Amino acid sequence: MSMMPSAHVDTFTRDHLPPADTWPALEFTLPELQYPERLNAAAVLIDDAVEQYGADRPALWTPDGAVWTYGQLQTRSNQVAQVLTEDLGVVPGNRVLLRGPNNPWIVAAWLGVLKAGAVVVTTMPMLRSAEVSTLIQLTKPLVAISDHRFRDELAVAAGDDVTVLTYGAGKGFDDDGDLVSRCGHKSGKFTAVDTSADDVALLGPTSGTTGVPKVTMHFHRDILANADTFARYILQPTADDVFAGSPPLAFTFGLGGLVVFPLRFGASSLLTEKAGPVELAEHASKAGATILFTAPTAYRAILKEKRGDLLRGLRIAVSAGEHLSKETWEAVHEATGLRLVNGIGATEMLHVFISAAGDDIRPGTTGRVVPGFRATILDNDGNELGPGAMGRLAVIGPTGCRYLDDPRQANYVVRGWNVTGDTFSMDADGYFTYQARSDNMIVSSGYNIGAPEVEAAIDQHPDVMENAVIGIPDEERGSIVCAFVVLREGVTGDAAKRKEIQDFVKQTIAPYKYPRDVRFVAELPRNPSGKLQHFKLRDRLLTEDAAGNASGTEQLTHAGQSQA
């Protein structure tokens, strides 16, 4: 596959792209997708926006009323680029890891890294040191930029090999360890590196259904393609729109909806670091938000609290991250008049590729392919199926799966198609309807949780002999993590032990991944070759619950969760 001359001095990402013959097909069928060969996504998103819309236009809001204009965001992102290149020796192609909640400085850092020609590595702030260490080993960053509140576990993972800069601590102007202090010494003038459109700009880790994250690789042109397909054709934003939402910027769903989309169209974005569904809706209503991104879980929670009035000022409400049922769609419509925009995307594709808006919406379906993409249903042998048949959802468009040096590339790309791991059906009119996940991913409150990763964490508990994790339906969260645990001999499986295991998992991996349902069993079902049979646990659970047996579930909540 022919690629353009790279601007990267550090060629790590280009050297570790998957073999060309394992790439998906890429198609650029829309006029908006005809990008120039030399392209820096950050220069387009902030420099071109300042030129087109003016430096005084609001870009980023926070719930306390603070605002960053486009000009201020441009200056601060330039200062970040200066700190990286002038102070820390970052060269094009180096990786820079970001760790922080949704706030303006993480956006400035993201843009600054791209302007410097470096590659952003996005990470969830809730990840524990062992999880961050794995990502550092995979992506080999030179620098890590972190909100000061999330520094400690990052510092443990970074060791002596990664320079850590924090922001937000409010320390002195001459504090060399603080990004904001360093930026204060810089002019704010920086010319973005003349990167190639197909230079890697972003490394986005997946949730790791096999316990080890896959790292997706995205080019500069890919970042703009999300805005020029789903946002442009489905959301149709204007410069007067105010975006808001719950997804973290470390998720490509949040990055698109709260950074790329608004900047691409001269709009602004409300960034909330941490808020429950009703609090998010309150902030959005107060800020005059017109476009909201969150999961079905959140919409249900807002209605449950009888606060649908907070959503009535929206022009568009987007639901993604988990399955949107017809019942939830109808309840939101009845309470607010809003027609929820459903959609499915993937980290591998960067954002939503099947959706519908307005009169094109058919409640209960996910929608049709977004302009710029095409999709189909495949059987297990990779053959296309006709209308009405259930099979694997597959898609082709301007973005596609490229894993960083990972043999699992061959599992995701089949005959040029990106195969998402979801079971869907398609009707004669081209509307796609979700059926189930076809892998070990559990989607809970919009978070993707890899069952094997949770199993590995539980196994580390000294009283656990073995365990198996599945997702089970939950009215509020869509699904929750359920663990079947075999304890070592002599240990009692009671409520205290259950909570002990749950707390242990929260300390081992990101807290939102912990098992809300823990069931102690004498043994786990296995086939003759010893392979664990998760499907038998699902069948067993259905049988038990149908019979009315007590599950012993402890429904716990914790402060680390950003959604209901």
Span 215-228, pLDDT tens digits = 999 999 999 999 99
Q: Return the residue matching tokens 């297990």.
A: 380
Mean pLDDT of the chain: 91
Dist CA 541 CA 350 (whole Å) = 35
Q: What is the pLDDT of residues 417-433, one digit of tens each?
A: 999 988 899 999 999 99
**Dihedral angle, C-alpha 413, 414, 416, 422, nearest 10 °:** -70
Identify the band that residue 453 occupies on the pLDDT scale cut at 50, 70 and 90: confident
Identify the band that residue 541 occupies on the pLDDT scale cut at 50, 70 and 90: confident
pLDDT number for residue 327: 86
Identify the band that residue 1 occupies on the pLDDT scale cut at 50, 70 and 90: low
The enclosing H or E element of 138 equals: helix 129-139
Identify the band that residue 562 occupies on the pLDDT scale cut at 50, 70 and 90: very low
Fold entry, domain 441-546: GMP Synthetase; Chain A, domain 3 (3.30.300)
Which residues are 520's β-sheet partners? 485
Q: What is the pLDDT of residues 178-220, one digit of tens each?
A: 999 999 999 999 999 999 999 999 999 986 555 678 999 999 9
Residue 89 CA to chain centroid, in angstroms? 29
3-class SS string, 52-66? HHCCCCEEEECCCCC
Q: Is 555 exposed, middle or buried (CB count within 10 Å of its CB: 0-12, 13-18, 19+)?
A: exposed
Q: Which amino acid is at 517?
A: D
pLDDT number for residue 373: 98
Dist CA 173 CA 269 (whole Å) = 28
pLDDT number for residue 177: 77
Identify the band that residue 403 occupies on the pLDDT scale cut at 50, 70 and 90: very high
- Residue 378, helix vs strand vs coil: strand
Q: What percent of the chain has pLDDT over 70?
A: 93
pLDDT number for residue 530: 58
Q: What percent of the chain has pLDDT over 90?
A: 75
Q: Return the residue matching tokens 């993409």.
A: 373
Dist CA 496 CA 447 (whole Å) = 27
Of 216, 272, 355, nearest in space to 63 by CA: 272
Q: Which amino acid is at 113?
A: V
pLDDT number for residue 36: 97
pLDDT at 564 over 90: no
pLDDT at 511 over 90: yes
Identify the band that residue 547 occupies on the pLDDT scale cut at 50, 70 and 90: low
Identify the band that residue 267 occupies on the pLDDT scale cut at 50, 70 and 90: very high
Identify the band that residue 559 occupies on the pLDDT scale cut at 50, 70 and 90: very low
Q: Looking at residue 436, what DSSP letter applies? A: E
Contact yes or no for 470/506 (Cβ under 8 A): no
513 torsion bin: left (phi>0), alpha (psi -120 to 50), beta (else): alpha
The enclosing H or E element of 303 equals: helix 296-304
For range 52-77, the mean pLDDT: 97
pLDDT at 528 over 70: no
| φ, ψ for residue 182, nearest 5 deg | -60, -40
pLDDT at 556 over 80: no
Contact yes or no for 302/278 (Cβ under 8 A): yes
Identify the band that residue 33 occupies on the pLDDT scale cut at 50, 70 and 90: very high
pLDDT number for residue 465: 85
How crowded is residue 433: how many other Cβ atoms within 10 Å of its Cβ?
Answer: 16
Lowest-confidence pick of 166-175, 348-357, 466-475: 166-175
pLDDT at 357 over 80: yes
**Dihedral angle, C-alpha 222, 223, 226, 231, nearest 10 °:** -160
Dist CA 93 CA 438 (whole Å) = 35
For range 551-564, the mean pLDDT: 30
Identify the band that residue 333 occupies on the pLDDT scale cut at 50, 70 and 90: very high
pLDDT at 71 over 90: yes
pLDDT number for residue 230: 98
pTM for the full model?
0.85
For range 434-445, the mean pLDDT: 78
Half-sphere CA count of 429, side-chain side, radius 13 A: 10
Q: 450 or 43, which is more confident?
A: 43
Domain edges within the chain:
441-546
pLDDT at 557 over 50: no
For range 505-518, the mean pLDDT: 94
Q: In whole angstroms, how far apart are CA 494 and each of 47, 459, 518, 553, 555?
A: 59, 18, 10, 11, 15
Lowest-confidence pick of 169-173, 291-295, 363-367: 169-173
